[in-house]
């Protein structure tokens, strides 16, 4: 019941818009001057967007951060984002930095300005902050690639067992189990990394329970949750497939397997480019078919390779032609759906060379072309294995005329002195004795086919890697639409301070560094984030991190930042530094009940 509900939400919750949200309008308008201070800031996008805890950061004319309420959708419209402003705003120019998650699961960000009463100079350069954390992005992309690879292997191997019907399926059990567990693990990792991927934070924030709860309420999180749910009945299906091989149940088994494979493919289509853009229902159908055809072809190649290595050769004359026909049908589906998706994502032919999406698409097409060349070479050996044998004919001895003086009936040839005709042996074909397939038992032909299939698998893995990068790249059509929007405004930069520490315990957590980010390092409210790295340069979890600020020249402080443990990092959004100057930031790191150390660093706070 839960699985069906989630899939329905994913399928029918998609809205037609442009893949990757583009900012359509702002209220107040970008660069406008309003007489009275607005009560809200409202953004309208080209598609539905998801909101984050820090979707808005507003900075005043003095570059100080303005306190705002939590972001929400305006009037319940999912394509909008709104935040309330304080009752009184001073005259001058305000900068609004925003970050949301588009319907195709990718985070987007930007900034704009508006002025109250009159414009004021903004000295900072445009800076919307880091779009992503490199480590988080790398881990997320690696998990996505493993998920694609495992899904292709799972679908293709199961399809090979059902449709090609090899005599022995034992060589296919291990890859099926490995693919299922890999897909389960990679999906779980994607679910954990989803929150830091959206916010651009480090991977340590993946264990923040509040962030995980927000992930489970968004479209990408629901898609990953649905994938985990589909994997449960898939495990039961694979178990039944390995134990029962009754040919009478094959239609039912094939129908169940097709439904499960389509449900798995839908969890990708519902959370990526197909779920947003023009012609969404057709695009999602095309995406599901594209993913299924990819799995049947590429996963089937791995299954064929294992069958060629382990099979005795008796059934290859039937198995290989069956897979050849299935592979041809899969390639046809890939060609049709691929052309449609390319047109939908590109928007124009010039985008093929003028955008990152187009260049990646060209690289994918080149890889597919090489793959087809290798597949054509493999078909030569496939044809030899599948070549039918000449039909055997019963040997009927010809009647030989008897000359005068031939031996009488019942008299042997030896007695008569004549030679008996030789008994015909096995019927022969022009190429030798009849066989199930002319090359099914030839080790040389099987060896050459194995090598060519192995090359196909290697090239297919490379193409799949390019596809993974392509699905995370802004489509050219959306990029062109986003480029038509107004340029971003000026955003105050952040200040990063590295604080080394050493408690003298000699352990990995006993020494290292604390990466402290002060945002925007100006008078007024500031945000503070602290991430602790051990002596091995990896993230570590410590019992306590405390940061205080003191301004000795004015005898102000210490002001406790009151950091909160966010599950791997420490942060706060409300540290009020009332005066400009060189503040002393004291960072205390406690690594055990008795071991702690305090380190001081100077921080410049601008007016």
C-alpha torsion sign, points 427, 433, 436, 437: negative
Nearest to 72 by CA among 58, 84, 59: 84
**Mean local confidence (pLDDT), 336-356:** 74
Nearest to 385 by CA among 433, 317, 450: 317
Q: Tell me the three state secondary structure of residue 78.
A: coil
pLDDT at position 484 is 54
Beta partners for residue 597, in sequence order = 589
Two tokens at 169?
Answer: 């399926």
Distances (CA, A) of 106 to 100, 255, 275: 9, 34, 12
- The domain spans of the chain are 20-116, 495-605
- Higher-scoring residue by pLDDT: 511, 184: 184
Two tokens at 351?
Answer: 């985008």
Can you give the C-alpha Rg of the chain in angstroms?
Answer: 34
The answer on pLDDT for 374 being more than 80 is no
Consecutive H or E run containing 303: helix 300-310
CA distance 163 to 165: 6
Domains 20-116 and 495-605 share a fold: yes
Express each pLDDT in 248-288 by its tens digit. Answer: 777 888 899 999 999 999 888 877 766 666 677 888 888 89
CA distance 559 to 18: 47
| 45 touches 24 (CB < 8 A) | yes
Q: How confident is the model at residue 596 (pLDDT cuts 50, 70, 90)?
A: confident
DSSP 69: -
Q: CB neighbours of 28 closer than 8 A, spacing ≥ 6?
A: 34, 38, 41, 114
CA distance 240 to 257: 11
495-605 is a CATH 2.60.40 domain = yes
Percent above pLDDT 70 for the chain = 74
Q: CB neighbours of 432 closer than 8 A, spacing ≥ 6?
A: none
Beta partners for residue 516, in sequence order = 497, 530
Query: CB atoms < 10 A from the CB of 222, how many?
Result: 21
Query: Is this model's pTM higher than 0.75 or not?
Result: no
Beta partners for residue 422, in sequence order = none
Consecutive H or E run containing 100: strand 92-102
CA 537, chain centre distance (Å): 27
**357 HSE (CA, 13 A, CB side):** 24
The answer on pLDDT for 6 being more than 50 is no
| 61 touches 92 (CB < 8 A) | yes
| 353 touches 359 (CB < 8 A) | yes
* Average pLDDT in the chain: 75
The answer on pLDDT for 12 being more than 50 is no
Which residue matches tokens 């390639």? 331
CA distance 441 to 316: 9
Q: How confident is the model at residue 34 (pLDDT cuts 50, 70, 90)?
A: confident
Q: Torsions phi, psi of 495, nearest 5?
A: -120, 130
Nearest to 26 by CA among 483, 474, 488: 488
Nearest to 223 by CA among 263, 254, 261: 263
Query: CB atoms < 10 A from the CB of 393, how many?
Result: 8
Q: How confident is the model at residue 606 (pLDDT cuts 50, 70, 90)?
A: confident
pLDDT at position 382 is 64
Express each pLDDT in 109-154 by its tens digit. Answer: 788 888 888 777 644 443 445 556 788 888 888 898 899 889 999 9
Lowest mean pLDDT among 389-393, 471-475, 495-499: 389-393
CA distance 145 to 501: 37
CA distance 256 to 520: 56
| 199 touches 180 (CB < 8 A) | no
Q: Tell me the three state secondary structure of residue 39.
A: coil
The answer on pLDDT for 532 being more than 70 is yes
pLDDT at position 115 is 85
Distances (CA, A) of 387 to 165, 312, 323, 430: 19, 17, 15, 13
**567 HSE (CA, 13 A, CB side):** 14
- Higher-scoring residue by pLDDT: 406, 346: 346
Q: How confident is the model at residue 538 (pLDDT cuts 50, 70, 90)?
A: confident
pLDDT at position 489 is 46
| 432 touches 312 (CB < 8 A) | no
Q: Are strands 276-277 and 15-16 parallel, antiparallel or unpaired?
A: parallel
Q: Got the DSSP string for 529-561?
A: EEEEEETTSSB---SEEEEEEEEGGGTEEEEE-
CA 159, chain centre distance (Å): 23
Q: Are strands 544-551 and 556-560 parallel, antiparallel or unpaired?
A: antiparallel
Express each pLDDT in 217-255 by its tens digit. Answer: 777 888 889 999 999 999 999 888 777 666 677 788 889
Burial of 555 (0-12, 13-18, 19+ CB in 10 A): exposed
CATH level 3 topology of 20-116: Immunoglobulin-like (2.60.40)
Which residue matches tokens 């509040």? 210
HEC string of 429-488 equals ECCEECCCCCCCCCHHHHHHHHHHHHHHHHHHHHHHHHHHHHHCCCCHHHHHHHHCCCCC
| 184 touches 504 (CB < 8 A) | no
């Amino acid at each position: 019941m839960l699985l069906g509900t989630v899939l329905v939400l994913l399928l029918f919750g998609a809205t037609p818009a442009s893949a990757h949200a583009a900012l359509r309008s702002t209220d107040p308008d970008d660069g406008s001057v309003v007489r009275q201070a607005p009560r809200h800031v409202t953004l309208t996008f080209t598609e539905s967007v998801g909101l984050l805890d820090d979707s808005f950061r507003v900075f005043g004319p003095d570059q100080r951060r303005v306190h705002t309420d939590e972001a929400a959708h305006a009037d319940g419209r999912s394509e909008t984002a709104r935040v309330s402003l304080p009752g009184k705003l001073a005259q001058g120019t305000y900068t609004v930095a925003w970050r949301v998650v588009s319907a195709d699961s990718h985070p987007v960000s930007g900034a704009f300005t508006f002025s109250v009463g009159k414009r004021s100079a903004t000295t900072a350069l445009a800076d919307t902050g880091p779009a992503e954390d490199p480590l988080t992005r790398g881990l997320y992309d690696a998990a996505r690639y493993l998920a694609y690879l495992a899904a292709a292997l799972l679908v293709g191997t199961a399809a090979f067992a059902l449709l090609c019907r090899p005599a022995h399926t034992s060589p296919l059990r291990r890859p099926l189990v490995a693919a299922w567990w890999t897909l389960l693990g990679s999906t779980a990792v994607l679910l954990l990394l989803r929150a830091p991927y959206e916010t651009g934070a480090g991977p340590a924030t993946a264990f923040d329970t509040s962030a995980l709860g927000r992930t489970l309420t968004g479209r990408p999180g629901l898609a990953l949750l649905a994938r985990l749910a589909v994997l449960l009945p898939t495990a039961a299906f694979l178990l039944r497939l390995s134990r029962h091989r009754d040919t009478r149940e094959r239609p039912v088994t094939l129908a169940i397997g097709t439904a499960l494979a389509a449900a798995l493919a839908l969890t990708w289509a519902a959370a990526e480019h197909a779920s947003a853009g023009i012609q969404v229902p057709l695009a999602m159908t095309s995406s599901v078919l594209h993913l299924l055809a990819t799995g049947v072809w590429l996963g089937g190649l791995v299954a064929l390779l294992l069958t060629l290595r382990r099979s005795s050769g008796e059934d290859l004359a039937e198995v290989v032609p069956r897979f050849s026909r299935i592979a041809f049908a899969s390639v046809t589906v890939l060609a049709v759906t691929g052309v449609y998706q390319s047109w939908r994502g590109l928007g124009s032919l010039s985008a093929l060379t003028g955008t990152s999406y187009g260049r990646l698409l060209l690289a994918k097409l080149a890889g597919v072309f090489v793959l087809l060349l290798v597949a054509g070479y493999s078909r030569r050996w496939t044809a030899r294995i599948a070549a039918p044998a000449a039909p055997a004919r019963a040997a009927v001895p010809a009647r030989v005329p008897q000359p005068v003086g031939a031996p009488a009936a019942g008299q042997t040839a030896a007695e008569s002195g004549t030679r008996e005709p030789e008994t015909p042996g096995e019927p022969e074909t022009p190429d030798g004795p009849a066989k199930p397939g002319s090359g099914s038992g030839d080790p040389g032909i099987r060896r050459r086919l194995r090598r060519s299939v192995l090359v196909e698998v290697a090239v297919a893995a490379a193409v799949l890697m390019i596809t993974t990068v392509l699905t995370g790249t802004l489509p050219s059509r959306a990029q062109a639409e986003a480029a038509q929007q107004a340029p971003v405004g000026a955003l105050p930069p952040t200040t990063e301070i590295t604080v080394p520490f050493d408690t003298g315990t000699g352990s990995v957590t006993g020494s290292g560094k604390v990466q402290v980010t002060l945002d925007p390092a100006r008078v007024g409210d500031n945000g503070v984030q602290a991430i602790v790295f051990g002596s091995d340069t990896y993230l570590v979890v410590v019992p306590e991190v405390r940061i205080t600020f003191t301004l000795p020249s004015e005898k102000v402080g210490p002001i406790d930042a009151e950091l909160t443990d966010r599950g791997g990092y420490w942060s706060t959004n409300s540290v009020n530094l009332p005066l400009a100057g060189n503040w002393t930031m004291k960072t205390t790191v406690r690594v055990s009940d008795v071991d702690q150390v305090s380190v001081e660093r100077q921080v410049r706070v601008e007016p």
